[in-house]
Amino acid sequence: GQNIDQPTEMTATEGAIVQINCTYQTSGFNGLFWYQQHAGEAPTFLSYNVLDGLEEKGRFSSFLSRSKGYSYLLLKELQMKDSASYLCAVRDRGGSYIPTFGRGTSLIVHP
């Protein structure tokens, strides 16, 4: 099984930078996904990391350290529309390679 931990809630100011952390324990790591989910809507894919390091996509970046069982999602130049839940999902070599989701971090961006 897997143990995935994310903060429940974070708040930040419009225009600022926020880092959302995800720690995990798994027996055979095989990739980590980040999704964004607005209230009442479907999760949408943001990023995928399988090797150590930083993946950058516009205002969003995701970092992975496999040795530490740690990832973060970095959101720059925050906008009000970034208020959403951010889901970390970890895949391992067991469980038919299906990602297991953390409980999500609710981000509130205020003016």
Q: Which residues of this protein are in contact with other proteins, per CB under 8 A?
A: 8, 30-31, 33, 35, 40-45, 48, 50, 87, 89, 91, 96-104
**Adjacency order of strands within the sheet including 3-5:** 3-5, 18-25, 70-75, 60-65, 53-57
Among residues 67 and 98, whose Cβ is nearest to other proteins?
A: 98
Q: What is the rounded radius of gyration, in angstroms, for the C-alpha atoms of the chain?
A: 13
Which lies closer to other proteins via its Cβ, residue 1 or residue 111?
1
Rounded to a whole number of angstroms, the minimum distance from the CB of residue 99 to other proteins is 7
Taking a C-beta distance cutoff of 8 angstroms, is the pair 71, 5 a contact?
A: no
Nearer to other proteins, 51 or 67 (CB): 51
Closest distance to other proteins from the beta carbon of 15 (Å): 29
Name the token pair of 78: 């925050």
Closest contact distance (angstroms) between CB of 62 and other proteins is 12
B/e letters for 86-108, b = 16+ CB within 10 Å, e = fewer, are bbbbbbbeeeeeebbebebbbbe
Q: Which is nearer to other proteins, 38 or 59 (by Cβ)? A: 38
